[in-house]
């Protein structure tokens, strides 16, 4: 009974996760949700729901589906690797390499064929199937690790907000990869090597269910992990009445301790106004071109927003987690990505783009663009083609 309960809870939470992902895709179209994770979650939620109902209602005689579901598991192996690659490089949906699914499809065909061949050949086919599926699991385990170590776990940035985003994605990818490896180990050792018939043994399926149960709970409790590396586009594109760059501003409390009497007086004056002032700064940042001015400083921002310059200085000093220089980089790189998406580089150079958005040199623009987006301008441009 406990096993059935684990299957049911895992399946329900899996479908909830899928609803969360599809809901974000439909209602928050600025947030890019990776479809490969959706496939993984959907397959596992369906898998555990079938196991639960086959045990609850044996009269339905759906046990025959279990073998097919277990064999179809190989189709989600490349989904893990493609998810990691897509998350790190933001590959477009159409950039799918079908070669990843050839071997899994061959395994499914072998599994189906062995039911129709001469009984004397069944053992040989089962041996071939075992070798191929173990090799497939090991291959994608290695490929996943190679992708992560190259594109995600070693990713650096000088921008603090991006550093925090990098850490979030790194921890999530480690968690997902460990889950992936654990499932592979369980499948190989408790599934095949402990079963003389070389067919996956479902006696230990509840262990796998617990792993996915933990995975689904993490997604539900921390949906921000679905955003991948779309740090800029997931929040900046629509500056609303609320503060959008939550990873940049510190509203509750200050970045450093306030010691001077002058700053303490400003703190008292801004009581109740801080969020509104920060919202105005964000609107000016992302709904105008003022940050394209290489000489932009607090005085210019103060003049445009009709806010005392001392207050602007105070906000960036005590409530901005980035230096003013890095904040300008974030705004200008976002500006650059929007221009690229509008076709600016179709007839103009990258040097021209860097100058237009306010950088003093191409080198500083290139370093900032790579640091914030994780891509070079050419890589970003290819992603749009």
| Residue 184 in this model has a pLDDT that exceeds 70 | yes
| Residue 330 in this model has a pLDDT that exceeds 80 | yes
Mean pLDDT of the 128-152 span: 87
At 30 the pLDDT is: 39
Mean pLDDT of the 3-30 span: 78
The CA distance from 104 to 289, in Å, is: 51
Can you give the residue range of the structural domain that contains 17? 2-227
The CA distance from 89 to 375, in Å, is: 7
Supply the mean pLDDT for the chain: 82
| Residue 198 in this model has a pLDDT that exceeds 50 | no
- The three-state secondary structure class of 359 is coil
Last residue of a domain, one of 227, 243, 272: 227
At 103 the pLDDT is: 77
What distance lies between CA 295 and its chain's CA centroid? 36
pLDDT, one tens digit per residue, over 315-327 is 999 999 999 999 9
Q: Which residue stretches of 186-297 are H helix?
A: 205-221, 261-269, 274-286
- Residue 193 pLDDT grade (very low, low, confident, very high; cuts 50, 70, 90): low
The CA distance from 86 to 152, in Å, is: 11
The partner residues of 7 in beta bridges, in order of sequence, read none
Last residue of a domain, one of 183, 208, 227: 227
Do 204 and 344 lie in one domain? The reply is no
At 376 the pLDDT is: 86
At 6 the pLDDT is: 93
Counted residue by residue, the chain has a size of: 385
| Residue 95 in this model has a pLDDT that exceeds 60 | no
CATH of the domain at 280: 1.10.10.60
Do 287 and 369 lie in one domain? The reply is yes
pLDDT, one tens digit per residue, over 98-128 is 777 787 788 777 777 766 666 666 677 777 7
Do 268 and 198 lie in one domain? The reply is no
The CA distance from 94 to 204, in Å, is: 37
Q: Scanning the structure block, which residue is given the tokens 């090597």?
A: 193
Joined together, the tokens standing for residue 319 give 């409530």
Last residue of a domain, one of 184, 203, 227: 227
CB-facing half-sphere around the CA of 35: CA atoms within 13 A? 7
Mean pLDDT of the 352-363 span: 94
Residue 244 lies in a domain: no
| Residue 383 in this model has a pLDDT that exceeds 80 | no
- Residue 152 pLDDT grade (very low, low, confident, very high; cuts 50, 70, 90): confident
Mean pLDDT of the 55-61 span: 72
312: CB partners within 8 A, 6+ apart: 281, 298, 301, 302, 305
**Domain count along the chain:** 2
The partner residues of 249 in beta bridges, in order of sequence, read 320
Q: For 41-50, 191-200, 218-227, 260-269, which range has the lowest pLDDT when averaged over its residues? A: 191-200
Asked whether the beta carbons of 211 and 12 are under 8 A apart, the reply is no
Residue 232 lies in a domain: no
Q: Which of 211, 206, 191 is nearest to 134 (CA)?
A: 191
Do 271 and 346 lie in one domain? The reply is yes
232-240 long-range contacts (CB < 8 A, ≥24 apart) are: 232/330, 232/333, 232/334, 232/337, 232/372, 232/373, 233/30, 233/32, 233/337, 234/30, 234/31, 234/32, 236/286, 236/334, 237/30, 238/30, 239/279, 239/282, 239/283, 239/286, 239/287
Do 41 and 122 lie in one domain? The reply is yes
pLDDT, one tens digit per residue, over 305-317 is 999 999 999 999 9
């Amino acid at each position: 009974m406990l096993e059935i309960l684990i299957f049911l809870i895992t399946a329900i939470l899996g479908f909830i996760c899928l609803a969360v992902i599809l809901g974000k895709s439909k209602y928050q179209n600025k947030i890019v949700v990776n479809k490969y994770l959706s496939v993984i979650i959907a397959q596992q939620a369906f898998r555990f729901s079938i196991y639960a109902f086959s045990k609850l209602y044996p009269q339905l005689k759906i046990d025959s589906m279990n073998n097919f579901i277990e064999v179809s598991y190989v189709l989600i192996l490349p989904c893990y690797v493609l998810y990691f690659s897509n998350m790190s490089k933001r590959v477009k949906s159409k950039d799918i390499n079908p070669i990843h699914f050839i071997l899994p499809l061959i395994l499914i065909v072998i599994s189906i064929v062995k039911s129709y061949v001469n009984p004397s050949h069944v053992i040989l086919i089962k041996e071939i199937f075992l070798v191929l599926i173990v090799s497939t699991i090991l291959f994608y385990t290695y490929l996943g690790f190679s992708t992560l170590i190259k594109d995600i776990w070693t990713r650096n940035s000088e921008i603090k907000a991006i550093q925090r985003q990098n850490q979030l994605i790194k921890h999530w990818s480690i968690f997902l990869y460990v889950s992936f490896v654990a499932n592979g180990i369980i499948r190989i050792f408790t599934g095949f090597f402990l079963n003389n018939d070389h067919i996956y043994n479902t006696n230990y399926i509840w262990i796998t269910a617990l792993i996915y149960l933990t995975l689904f709970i993490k997604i539900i409790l921390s949906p921000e992990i679905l955003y991948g590396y779309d740090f800029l586009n997931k929040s900046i594109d629509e500056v609303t009445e609320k503060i959008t760059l939550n990873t940049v501003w510190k509203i509750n409390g200050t970045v450093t301790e306030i010691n001077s009497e002058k700053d303490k007086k400003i703190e008292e004056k801004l009581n109740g106004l801080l969020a509104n002032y920060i919202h105005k700064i964000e609107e000016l940042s992302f709904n105008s071109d003022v940050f394209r001015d290489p000489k932009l400083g607090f005085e210019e921002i103060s003049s445009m927003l009709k806010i005392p310059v001392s207050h602007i200085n105070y906000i960036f000093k005590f409530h901005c987690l980035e230096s003013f220089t890095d904040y300008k980089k974030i705004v200008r790189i976002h500006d650059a990505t929007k221009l690229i998406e509008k076709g600016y580089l179709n007839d103009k150079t990258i040097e021209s783009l860097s100058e237009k958005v306010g950088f003093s040199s191409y080198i500083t623009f290139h370093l900032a663009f790579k640091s914030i987006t994780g891509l070079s301008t050419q890589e970003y441009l290819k992603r749009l083609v």
